[in-house]
A and B are shown apart, each in its own frame.
Chain A
Amino acid sequence: MKFIFDSDSWQEIYGSIRKNKVRTGITIIGVLWGIFLLVVLLGAARGMENGFKKLFGDFATNSVFVWTQSTDTPFRGFQKGRTFRLKEADIEILKREFEGEIKLLAPRNQTNNLITHDFKSGNFQVCGDYPVLDQIQKKKLIYGRFINENDMLTTSKVTVISEDMYIQLFDKGVYPIGAYVKINNINYKVVGVYEPSNTINLDGDSAYIPFSTFKRVYNTGNNIDWMVITAEEGINIEQMEKDVILTLKNLHNVHPEDKRAFGSFNLGTQIAKLTGFLTGMQFLTWFVGIATLIAGVFAIGNILLITVKERTKEIGIRRAIGATPRSIRQQIILESVFLTTIAGMLGIIFGSAVLFVIDTAFGQGPDAALVNPTVNIPIIIIAFATLVVLGTLIGLIPAHMATIVKPIEALREE
């Protein structure tokens, strides 16, 4: 190992590289490109993953949405094609039946109404909601607060409006909290303004009012339009979705095999699909990166083989004046490792630079396509170590070729 730290070994390498500057440069680009691709692709894949994560950021990702449609099978004397509604009673039953499995359950009612403030107006979605909605999909409040339990109990006429509504309905600079807006000609006091999330969300621009108020104002009785359920940690959300729907079918006299009666959307499975896609992308990235890396290392082996062939005579001279085969081999392997290492370092530096540029240009702000595109240091170290090992292994071939020729034949070479 001493020869690695011997300045003379490096002197020799410098001499041989200086002799073939252009060729060495081009060869280095091969490996450089490989590790560059690996770094950039891994970074981009990571950025994409972060982007998706951010997309679901404010939303509980283990959520199921359930609503009613019409039956497709006659059951217990009911004709097929019957329409029916979810009831408030269902909520209590589900909460009891699935205790320990359901974490949050938010029943919801929705309608569209004209909302006015002074002389300004607009048509918006109005949602009757439980305060728990804020836990399923976190609302970023600019002013005020979200609906609370007290509003529910007192069936207060309060509303939380979106920033867009605030801009559309209010004059510039007017403080909205405590002001009144008319929804369907009834006055509601504004208690909060939220910033609509530009990620996945349930209901775009909506004015939220307490569920109890909605029930009274729109006379919905015990009906529920739909509900959002989130599962406890570690619960199989797909199984829970099936079980919940089966329970609801039983409550509403729907055939257990009925496929149309209940509609549902499972965010968990959708995300799992996406995560699978990301995993696939990452695998592809590794595959492409490492394949390119290997191709690059082979290029180095190839160029060293040519160099060795060209230097046959020189190697013959060196051996005539006392170089042992071992010292010749060490020299060539060291040269190979040196070239791969330099190429690897440059590749990592350039790759990181490109990631930095991507991050600066596209990686910041709410609409970022690639969020924080980065590569882990351990991954870099592993890739680098692989490179050094491959460089050594590939260097063995030209090193062997260099010493297989007898010095006498090497000297005859012109």
Chain B
Amino acid sequence: MIRIEKLHKSYPIGKESIHVLKGIDLHIKEGEFVSIMGSSGSGKSTLLNIVGLLDIHDEGNYYLNGELIKDMNEKKAAILRNKFLGFVFQSFNLISYKTALENVALPLYYKGVNRKERLEIAMEYLEKVGLKEWANHLPNELSGGQKQRVAIARALVTKPKVVLADEPTGALDSTTTDSVMDLLKDINNEGMTVFVITHEEEVAAQTKRIVRLKDGVIVSDELTKNTNSVSHV
């Protein structure tokens, strides 16, 4: 599903440039539940941004769903994001003046689904995350955990190949963290590839594979005890 070969990325800061990713090799198969661990500055967010087509790598190869990502323009990237990827952010990133239902339906709008149909689909997914009764509430009327569940529903609504979650529990307390993680686990159990970035050991422990990054290189890549049916290379 995601194949990364010798990936390099550096950011110019003033005249200097910081080498953030120093040759990453990673292969994630369909249906995996992978967490990327690392302290801040280890390059985990950069990796997620590149995987999520929000940023462009300098060197190396990146294959998404078998397709080599190269010479991306904004339009192409937008279409691929809409088709293959679902995003879950630490700060939820819901649109404040749209209801939960409208937020969930928005990716379908950009996909060109008509209003009636997309509201139906969105409602289905809200039901799935257990927030059907909250469909017509604005984000500021929801709790943090509820907001993140809306965000997850939004990430899932286009039936993506991969869900990318950047510190999905970073702004949540432990109870809601668990409920969000349970949700992600359920999604994974249904066969969705889930890619989580976190610095919390407890969160990582609930995934099936932990990749540890340090100073831009992978220091360890191991399966957890949760792994049963899915194996990796």
A residues with CB within 8 A of B: 7-8, 11, 15-16, 18-19, 313-314, 317-327, 403, 406-408, 411
Q: Which residues of chain B are near A322, meaning CB under 8 Å?
A: 78-79, 81-83, 107, 110-111, 158
A-B contact pairs, 26 of them (CB 8 A): A8-B115, A11-B115, A15-B97, A18-B97, A19-B97, A317-B93, A317-B94, A318-B106, A319-B74, A319-B81, A320-B52, A320-B81, A321-B82, A322-B78, A322-B79, A322-B81, A322-B82, A322-B83, A322-B111, A322-B158, A324-B74, A324-B79, A406-B54, A407-B54, A408-B55, A411-B93
B105-131 vs A, CB cutoff 8 Å, 1 = contact: the mask equals 011011100010000000000000000
**Which of A15, A18, A19, A324 lies in contact with B75, CB distance below 8 A?**
A324
B68-105 vs A, CB cutoff 8 Å, 1 = contact: the mask equals 00000011001101110001010001111110000000
**Are A7's CB and B95's CB within 8 A?**
no
* B44 CB within 8 Å of chain A: no
**Are B49's CB and A326's CB within 8 A?**
no
Q: Mostly helix, strand, loop or mixed at chain B's interface?
A: helix
Q: Which residues of chain B are near A325, meaning CB under 8 Å?
A: 74-75, 78
* B149 CB within 8 Å of chain A: no
* B154 CB within 8 Å of chain A: yes
With both chains docked as a complex, state the minimum distance between the C-beta of B119 and any C-beta of chain A, in angstroms: 11
**Which of B49, B78, B83, B97 lies in contact with A324, CB distance below 8 A?**
B78
**Are A408's CB and B75's CB within 8 A?**
no
Q: Which residues of chain B are near A407, meaning CB under 8 Å?
A: 54
Q: How far is the CA of A8 from the CA of B94 in the complex (A)?
A: 18
Q: Which residues of chain B are near A327, meaning CB under 8 Å?
A: 110
**Which of B55, B78, B87, B98 lies in contact with A323, CB distance below 8 A?**
B78
Q: Mostly helix, strand, loop or mixed at chain A's interface?
A: helix
Q: Which residues of chain B are near A321, meaning CB under 8 Å?
A: 81-82, 87, 106-107, 110, 154, 158
With both chains docked as a complex, state the minimum distance between the C-beta of A225 and any C-beta of chain B, in angstroms: 84
Residue with the highest number of chain B CB atoms closer than 10 Å, among A11, A318, A321, A323: A321
* Closest B residue by C-beta to A313: B93
Q: Which residues of chain A are near B78, meaning CB under 8 Å?
A: 319, 322-325
Question: Contacts A8-B115, A325-B74; is A320 near B97 (CB within 8 Å)?
Answer: no
Q: Which residues of chain A are near B111, meaning CB under 8 Å?
A: 322
* Closest B residue by C-beta to A11: B115
With both chains docked as a complex, state the minimum distance between the C-beta of A249 and any C-beta of chain B, in angstroms: 85
Q: How far is the CA of A166 from the CA of B52 in the complex (A)?
A: 98
**Which of B75, B89, B97, B109 lies in contact with A326, CB distance below 8 A?**
B75
**Are A7's CB and B87's CB within 8 A?**
no
Q: How far is the CA of A134 from the CA of B94 in the complex (A)?
A: 83
Would you list the 3 A-B pairs with minimal beta carbon distance, nearest first? A322-B82, A322-B110, A408-B54
Q: Which residues of chain B are near A15, meaning CB under 8 Å?
A: 97-98
Q: How far is the CA of A19 from the CA of B97 in the complex (A)?
A: 7
* Closest B residue by C-beta to A326: B75
Q: How far is the CA of A15 from the CA of B94 in the complex (A)?
A: 14
With both chains docked as a complex, state the minimum distance between the C-beta of B103 and any C-beta of chain A, in angstroms: 9
With both chains docked as a complex, state the minimum distance between the C-beta of B78 and any C-beta of chain A, in angstroms: 4
Q: How far is the CA of A407 from the CA of B72 in the complex (A)?
A: 13
With both chains docked as a complex, state the minimum distance between the C-beta of B208 and any C-beta of chain A, in angstroms: 25
* Closest A residue by C-beta to B76: A324
* Closest B residue by C-beta to A7: B115
With both chains docked as a complex, state the minimum distance between the C-beta of B150 and any C-beta of chain A, in angstroms: 13
Q: How far is the CA of A322 from the CA of B154 in the complex (A)?
A: 12
Question: Contacts A318-B110, A322-B107; is A411 near B95 (CB within 8 Å)?
Answer: no
Q: 9 additional contacts, CB 8 Å, given A319-B81, A321-B154, A325-B74?
A: A8-B109, A11-B115, A19-B97, A314-B95, A321-B110, A322-B82, A322-B83, A323-B78, A325-B75
Q: How far is the CA of A314 from the CA of B97 in the complex (A)?
A: 10
With both chains docked as a complex, state the minimum distance between the C-beta of B131 and any C-beta of chain A, in angstroms: 18
With both chains docked as a complex, state the minimum distance between the C-beta of B61 and any C-beta of chain A, in angstroms: 20
Q: Which residues of chain B are near A318, meaning CB under 8 Å?
A: 95, 106, 110
Residue with the highest number of chain B CB atoms closer than 10 Å, among A15, A18, A323: A323
Q: How far is the CA of A408 from the CA of B89 in the complex (A)?
A: 12
Question: Contacts A15-B97, A322-B82; is A403 near B87 (CB within 8 Å)?
Answer: no
* Closest B residue by C-beta to A314: B95
Q: How far is the CA of A253 from the CA of B83 in the complex (A)?
A: 103
Q: How far is the CA of A313 from the CA of B89 in the complex (A)?
A: 13
Q: Which residues of chain B are near A317, meaning CB under 8 Å?
A: 93-95
Q: How far is the CA of A11 from the CA of B159 in the complex (A)?
A: 24
Q: Which residues of chain B are near A11, meaning CB under 8 Å?
A: 115
Q: Which residues of chain A are near B49, meaning CB under 8 Å?
A: 408
With both chains docked as a complex, state the minimum distance between the C-beta of B76 and any C-beta of chain A, in angstroms: 9
Q: How far is the CA of A247 from the CA of B75 in the complex (A)?
A: 85
* Closest B residue by C-beta to A12: B109
With both chains docked as a complex, state the minimum distance between the C-beta of B65 and any C-beta of chain A, in angstroms: 15
Question: Contacts A322-B79, A322-B111; is A411 near B89 (CB within 8 Å)?
Answer: yes
Q: Which residues of chain A are near B74, meaning CB under 8 Å?
A: 319, 324-325, 403
With both chains docked as a complex, state the minimum distance between the C-beta of A408 and any C-beta of chain B, in angstroms: 4
Q: Which residues of chain B are near A7, meaning CB under 8 Å?
A: 115
Q: Which residues of chain B are near A320, meaning CB under 8 Å?
A: 52, 54, 81, 87, 93
